[in-house]
Structure 1
Amino acid sequence: MTTLEARPGTAVAHPLDMTSAGEVDRARAALDAVGLLGETVRFAFFAPEEPPKPDVLAHADGEAVDRRFRAVLLDLATGRSWDTVVSATSGEVVSRREVDPPRDGQPPIIDAEFEMIEDVLNASEEWTQALAKRGIDPASVRAVPLSAGVYDYPDEVGHRMVRAFGFRQDHERDHPWAHPVDGLVAYVDLTARRVTRVIDAAEVPVPATSGNFDDPAVTGPARTTLKPIEITQPEGPSFTVEGNRVRWEGWDLRVGFNEREGLTLHQISYDGRPIVYRASVAEMVVPYADPAPVRFWQNYFDCGEYMFARYADSLQLGCDCLGEIHYLDAVIADDLGAPKTITNAICMHEEDYGVLWKHSDMFTGSRETRRQRRMVFSFFTPIGNYDYGFYWYLYLDGTIQLEVKATGIVFTSGSPGEYAAEVAPGLGAPFHQHLFSARLDMTVDGVRNAVDEVQAERVPMGEGNPYGNAFRKRRTRLARESQAQRQADGSVVRTWHIVNPEKQNALGQDVGYALVPEGKATLLADEASSIHARATFATNHLWVTRYDAAQRYPAGDFVNQNPGGAGLPAWVQADREIDGEDIVVWHTFGTTHFPRPEDWPVMPVDYTGFTLKPVGFFDRNPALDVPATGGHCTAGGEVTGPGKERGGDGD
């Protein structure tokens, strides 16, 4: 295994180049120069403000680039916040507005706020007395502050809130997730730095089981039977990287990264033909199912409330990625607006993926096999108890795929029951969902696209179908945004074809790509619930909107303590035409998790995702020219079997 060093940073040459440390510094200086910074002001969000799509598509090499960044500033002392756009090129603050929390929601929660929670809790007599009656030393309790959501608490309107659980930690190396202090929760006003309410609903025994998955006393001796696997490419990888532009086997794209979405892919094309202008996971929500007085509010938007990619791991060769690896660093801003480099944030490499195509022919005697290969772009981020890996794959046959890997530690409780599974003696894990929203800004052979819903249709037995075996393909064009809020249906193999009505293949068919969903459950919470209002994007597998540069996040710009209705449900009220227009496809996918004993003390990876598959985009199999592997897998030997021996009648 070897590591390929990333090329040193160069001057910005393209509007979608990755953020540099110098740009973060210049943006901060511009904000400081107009008096927006101060001793108690922190950066709650910082990311590139990408130019509108038409501007990027019109950009020519050598043209000047105005690099703009969006910064959300939070005054910890007052709770006031400002949404700004600043040019790191000119040093100008392009726009600013004060955020209105009751209407807009709050900026995301930042590290400085998380770090003070234990001190705030331990200053609360009500909290410490609740621990004392349980015989628990407050110094042994690790606080887990979590986003508060929006509920019927008038005193919380306009205030920055979190709700905090406690987990007992028995020693420095002890994983406290094994010891939840259940039946107890504190509500904390972050600006006032005080506990506003303690809910002490029940005294539940603290589970005694160990969660120390890194302790040999728990794991037992390591296996000695696994033999080494080495992935080598003696001639080096097949891809090339220039800055953040990657080329591989006909594919050409740019890679990006920001603290809210993490890894983003831009201007994905194949043999010079555009397919996707921008692809990202724009939001995710983790709604929990336990209605208990201390847990009913547990619903986390890891992208919008926590900016989860700011915690992305620095990936390690041989652990997170295997083979001939090219890493890219990512630059974000910390709470003070200083540049922070996440080393090896993005991993790129090739993988063998089994058989690409194969046929052994009984008439000609030919036997041909080709190996599939895929290009991998990935990053991993821990957020609280869970760890998420995001893997974008490009295949030799033109397929694009996203796979999300969920691992880490399940959130625990001390009370297994109707809404939680027992995963260890006395230790519960509430039922929950992980629902992601992929934002797919499509450009299938151009910017004017449309979406057809395609599914199987049974044909009734009778005239034209006398034996009852017939079924056919039904295609329905989704003409307006109101028609493009759809559920997957595996019983009729429903897919959605993103097509270009202005471009046809050699057979006269509209060129297209099919969105193939997994079709798992969408949001299960009741329609009247707070989380349903705030995470409406997760109620449909598919939404299609007319492109608007300002419409980037499916639950709205400010998700934290947003009252609901923002994002997709608000935008589609316009009911814009989407047939043959510049469109964005939004896809909800994810898992519903009923935890198992096998998920404890650390959870094996669970997988979810979707596929974009060419349908009529090519005139034939685009991977016919893939050579046999290393002189093997070529025609050889006579094909035998019943078909050959009996003249090919197959009987």
Structure 2
Amino acid sequence: MTTPVSSLTATEIERTTALVREAGLAGESVRFVYVGLLEPHKQEVLAFRAGTGPRPDRRARVLLLDTATGAARDVTVDLTAGAVAAIAEVDGAHGGMPILVEEFVSVDGILAEEPAWVDALAKRGLTPEHVRCAPLSAGAFDLPGEEGRRIIRVLCFAALAPDDHIWAHPVDGLSAYVDLVGRKATEVIDVGVFPLPEEPSRFHLPQGRPAPLETLRPIEITQPDGPSFQVEGDRITWANWSFNFGFDAREGLVLHHLAYADPDHDGEVRPIVYRASIAEMVVPYGDPAPVRFWQNYFDTGEYLFGRFANSLTLGCDCLGEIHYVDVDLADEAGDVQRIPNAICLHEEDYGTLWKHTDIYTPNSAEVRRQRRLVISFFTTVGNYDYGFYWYLYLDGRIECEAKLTGILFTSAYRGLEEWPYASEVAPGLGAPFHQHLFSARLDMMVDGVRNAVEEVDAVRVPVSPENPYGNAFSYARTRITSEAEGVRSADASVGRTWHVVSTERTNRLGRPTGYVLRAEQNPTLLADPSSSIAARAAFTTRDLWVTRYAPEERYAAGEFVNQNPGGDGLPAYVAGDRPLDGEDVVLWHTFGVTHFPRPEDWPVMPVDHVRFSLTPYGFFDRNPTLNVPATTTDHCEGHPHHAD
């Protein structure tokens, strides 16, 4: 049985699209850009779960695009009532619909009929059949002739051989701007012919790699008695943890109702996070070339990266005792698209949990093993592959990790002195500098909905009568009282963290129960503050934004990101400067990678990692893992408490 926050089932997707068609909203040229659950208000869900309120209605959100006219609609379908409940026209002033796969596919044919494009290729000894177009989101630059148009920008790569990755052969100095509705190029930019990198990339074939490494032996991870987690529908319980999960075409994996059963309070199930997701991500490139200055991709808001989730493979993508979950989404025709094995769930050993051998207490030598529950998915957006992993640890810690791999987006290399915005990764092959910046939306609920956020910095204490030898240090704790104060930057020099504390519950020491957000302290957006991308991706300019919960505030860069000129999303959310102390708070954490590509990233990039964590701080009265049993398997040799 579905819960109020369960993702739409295949049956519900079919019913949703049928109701849209019955309402006359889906003609021959209309495409279903997005179909997903329109979640009820948080208070409605909590009241239903507590037995004090009715079951919320099931509603779906549908985004429609007429590919013939460019007309767009935002439709609400009431599945409980069996009717279309609301229709809003999307005029494009604050952005338009995400890009369709159908539109990607159409670009090659459009440009093959464009004389200026064909002539530019001929100058390089190429024809349209020799190249593959990379259709890319246009951004918003107030360029003449683009007003009111649905634009995509195009770079291209030479396809020199059927088994060769095109990314090895960028056709640099050339790009095109395409009107997707008018199906024509509005401009072809040709700034000069660059040498075409010729070295092939065939890493996917045996002849494209060195001889196999013969010394590696198999690693098998087994759980003879099966995994420790239980899955019932979309609810998972494991150790002291419980939560629900779902999947969305825009956000990908979504977690709900993260809670921990406190062993020192008779197993009381204590809420921590109401909802957690990756609400936005953007890849801003730092190459100012005339054919590349616009390269800034919002993989969630512009591309809906959840729909490109991979079907995972046992032993390759996931290792161990694996539970897979299929995902049902709507395709652009409104039909159900099933992605088998899209979500991976498993346990991992994670080394020592705690250990002590005491010289004063006889027979006191104890050690316990840490383990974590992993729920994850991988998605491929063009050249890059992204894995998103949520980890739950025995000691109450929550961690989110993004894994980045795939193939670099390449250019011709001009030399560092001439063009200091790219690395040479192979002979004549460049890779522009860029960032990958994610926004995690963390709808907090630490021991209830009344929370506060405090910024905590380490503080050096000067020599004084109280500190005569200068060894002392302490910390400063500053409560964030309003949204204007809640736009914060990390500071590694003081080890800055942010504590989310309950304003209604204290631990046995009389202090507020809480959780700490720990950031990795990496650079935020490096583009100039006056740039288009700084306006459009304002969330990336700070490490933390704190808002008060509002059901319509879903995405860090706003509802409609494609060709949005900026100002929507978090800047608009905090403009009202709502009070935060003792309120229902949402954290929006920016985390990411600044990538100066290296030769080792070519021809396929080893995984890079970036993460953050939520760690209990005074949430428990003491170490909550004292109930974890000692290891008793055959691997624990010589002593019942010996660590591997």
TM-score where L is the length of structure 2: 0.96
Partner of 1:184: 174
The one-letter amino acid of 1:89's match is T
Partner of 1:120: 110
CA distance in 2, matches of 1:121, 1:65: 49
1:112 is paired with a residue whose SS is: helix
* Cα deviations by residue, 1:290-325 (Å, 9 ceiling, x for unpaired): 001000000000000000110100111111111111
The offset of 1:467, in angstroms, is 0.7
Gapped regions of structure 2 (runs ≥ 5): 262-268
CA distance in 2, matches of 1:280, 1:200: 41
Partner of 1:524: 526
CA distance in 1, matches of 2:149, 2:384: 27
Partner of 1:397: 395
CA distance in 1, matches of 2:101, 2:12: 22
Partner of 2:404: 406
- Greater shift, 462-471 or 142-151, is seen at 462-471
Q: Decide which of 60, 68, 75 is 1:69's aligned counterpart.
A: 60
Partner of 2:223: 233
Partner of 1:99: 90
2:515 is paired with a residue whose SS is: strand
Gapped regions of structure 1 (runs ≥ 5): 1-11, 640-651
1:83 is paired with a residue whose SS is: strand
- Greater shift, 461-470 or 589-598, is seen at 461-470
Partner of 1:502: 504
Partner of 1:214: 204
Q: Structure 1 stretches (4+) deviating beyond 4 angstroms?
A: 60-65, 631-639
Partner of 2:307: 310
Calculate the aligned-residue CA RMSD, in Å. Answer: 1.6
Aligned 8 A contact 2:4 2:55 in 1: no
- Greater shift, 163-172 or 270-279, is seen at 163-172
Aligned 8 A contact 2:368 2:641 in 1: no
CA distance in 1, matches of 2:509, 2:594: 42
1:104 is paired with a residue whose SS is: coil
Aligned 8 A contact 1:370 1:626 in 2: yes
Partner of 2:19: 30
2:170 is paired with a residue whose SS is: coil
The offset of 1:635, in angstroms, is 9.9
The offset of 1:607, in angstroms, is 0.1
CA distance in 2, matches of 1:637, 1:613: 30
The answer to whether residue 17 in structure 2 is matched with residue 17 in structure 1 is: no
1:95 is paired with a residue whose SS is: strand
Partner of 1:9: none
Aligned residues: 627
1:310-349 matches, cutoff 5 A: 310-349=307-346
* Cα deviations by residue, 1:478-516 (Å, 9 ceiling, x for unpaired): 000000111111111110000001100000110000000
The offset of 1:368, in angstroms, is 1.4
Q: Decide which of 372, 377, 383 is 1:374's aligned counterpart.
A: 372
1:155 is paired with a residue whose SS is: coil
* Cα deviations by residue, 1:314-352 (Å, 9 ceiling, x for unpaired): 111111111111111111100011111111111100000
Aligned 8 A contact 2:375 2:390 in 1: yes
Partner of 1:442: 444
The offset of 1:609, in angstroms, is 1.1
Partner of 1:432: 434
CA distance in 2, matches of 1:422, 1:145: 24
The answer to whether residue 36 in structure 2 is matched with residue 47 in structure 1 is: yes
The one-letter amino acid of 2:304's match is M
* Cα deviations by residue, 1:443-475 (Å, 9 ceiling, x for unpaired): 000000000001100111122111111110110
CA distance in 1, matches of 2:188, 2:440: 37
The offset of 1:27, in angstroms, is 0.5
The one-letter amino acid of 2:3's match is H
The offset of 1:90, in angstroms, is 2.4
CA distance in 1, matches of 2:542, 2:252: 23
* Cα deviations by residue, 1:396-416 (Å, 9 ceiling, x for unpaired): 000000010000001100124
CA distance in 2, matches of 1:633, 1:270: 29
CA distance in 2, matches of 1:541, 1:594: 21
* Cα deviations by residue, 1:375-418 (Å, 9 ceiling, x for unpaired): 00000000000000000000000000001000000110012431
The one-letter amino acid of 1:68's match is R
The offset of 1:215, in angstroms, is 2.2
CA distance in 2, matches of 1:327, 1:216: 30
Aligned 8 A contact 2:131 2:159 in 1: yes
CA distance in 1, matches of 2:584, 2:379: 32
Partner of 2:569: 567
The offset of 1:33, in angstroms, is 1.3
Q: Structure 1 vs Structure 2: percent identity of aligned residues?
A: 59
The offset of 1:636, in angstroms, is 5.4
The offset of 1:364, in angstroms, is 2.1
CA distance in 2, matches of 1:610, 1:578: 23
The one-letter amino acid of 2:232's match is E
2:145 is paired with a residue whose SS is: helix
TM-score where L is the length of structure 1: 0.95
CA distance in 2, matches of 1:215, 1:258: 34
Aligned 8 A contact 1:413 1:427 in 2: yes
Partner of 2:352: 355
